[in-house]
């Protein structure tokens, strides 16, 4: 099943004074960039055909894969001057690189790569900056069983802020209750999509994937959400990426499902 990755945004919320030409999906997490971790997640479930929707900083993503070094994240042996890999990451991957514009919204990016996925009954899509341990193939099976036109992973609110209840009146008000946002009975879009050609048919020029396409499908009753209470972590800001980096260094990598089954090559 093909995987469309939206990796052409500016990533302004991640800026921290570093090289601003580096797109957000290329920010490092351990020895590999975020986009690699997302792609390895999909590959773990057997989905190794990728379509990258490039935009801002697209040359960095192209060059990374054009000069990819398997030895960075795999064990190897040097014998008689030759490198013999004990594992491999991307040797069986197919990656299509498509320039979808610097300013394009997500829906427009998908519209510009439509020809690569429109003949498939189902395809997957992702923002390329969110990590999870969600059971992807179980999600796909549920979407198929439900006959949904599309599905998105939904997760509890991640905010550390608190909501307050107040009594009626103008000006200063008495606070009658405080509730952490994470405890509210609401769900957030988790950024992992399973889609069909029905969703593609709703794409219009410069549309937004969620507000335009998914909202339309929701009105029609053909958009489903998979509730995930396990690990889910965005890397949308510098703080979030720093937290992921600290977890990576400490060996706390619940998203790295492939590490649990890493085996030598035959």
Residues 221-234: pLDDT tens digits?
A: 999 999 999 999 99
Coil/strand/helix, residue 85: strand
HSE, side-chain direction, 13 A CA sphere, residue 242 = 7
Residues 176-196: pLDDT tens digits?
A: 888 877 777 889 999 999 999
Q: How far is Cα 157 from Cα 171, in angstroms, rounded to an integer?
A: 29
Percent of the chain having pLDDT more than 90? Answer: 73
Q: How far is CA 241 from each of CA 34, 96, 192, 233, rounded to the nearest angstrom? A: 9, 26, 18, 9
Cβ distance 125 to 4 under 8 Å?
Answer: yes
Set out the domains of the chain in order of their start, with CATH numbers. Answer: 2-150+189-261 (3.90.550.10)
pTM: 0.88
pLDDT at 12: 47
Q: How far is CA 191 from each of CA 132, 141, 150, rounded to the nearest angstrom? A: 10, 18, 12
Q: How far is Cα 258 from Cα 137, in angstroms, rounded to an integer?
A: 14
**pLDDT averaged over consecutive 10-residue blocks of the chain (266 residues)?**
91 51 89 95 97 95 94 91 90 96 95 97 96 97 95 88 78 79 84 96 96 97 96 90 94 94 52
pLDDT at 262: 57
């Amino acid at each position: 099943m093909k995987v469309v990755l939206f990796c052409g945004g500016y990533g302004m919320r991640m800026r921290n004074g570093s090289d601003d030409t580096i797109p957000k999906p290329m920010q490092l997490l351990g020895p590999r960039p975020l986009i690699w971790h997302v792609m390895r997640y999909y590959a773990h479930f057997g989905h190794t055909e990728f379509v990258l929707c490039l935009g801002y900083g697209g040359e960095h993503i192209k060059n990374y894969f054009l000069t990819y070094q398997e030895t960075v994240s795999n064990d190897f042996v040097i014998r008689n001057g030759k490198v013999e890999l004990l594992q491999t990451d991307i040797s069986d991957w197919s990656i299509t690189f498509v320039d979808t514009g610097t300013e394009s919204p997500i829906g427009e990016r998908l519209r510009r790569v439509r020809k690569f996925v429109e003949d498939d009954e189902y395809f997957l899509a992702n923002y390329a900056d969110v990590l999870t341990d969600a059971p992807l193939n179980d999600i796909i099976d549920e979407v198929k069983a439900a006959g949904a036109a599309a599905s998105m992973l939904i997760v509890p609110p991640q905010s550390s802020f608190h909501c307050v209840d107040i009594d009626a009146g103008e000006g200063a008000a008495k606070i009658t209750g405080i509730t952490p946002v994470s405890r509210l009975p609401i769900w957030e879009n988790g950024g992992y999509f399973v889609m069909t050609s029905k969703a593609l048919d709703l794409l219009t020029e410069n549309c937004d994937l969620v507000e335009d396409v998914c909202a339309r499908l929701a009105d029609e009753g053909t958009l489903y959400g998979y509730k995930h209470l396990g690990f889910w972590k965005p890397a949308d800001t510098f703080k979030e990426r720093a937290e992921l980096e600290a977890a990576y260094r400490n060996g706390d990598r619940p998203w790295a499902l492939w590490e649990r089954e890493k085996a030598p090559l035959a």
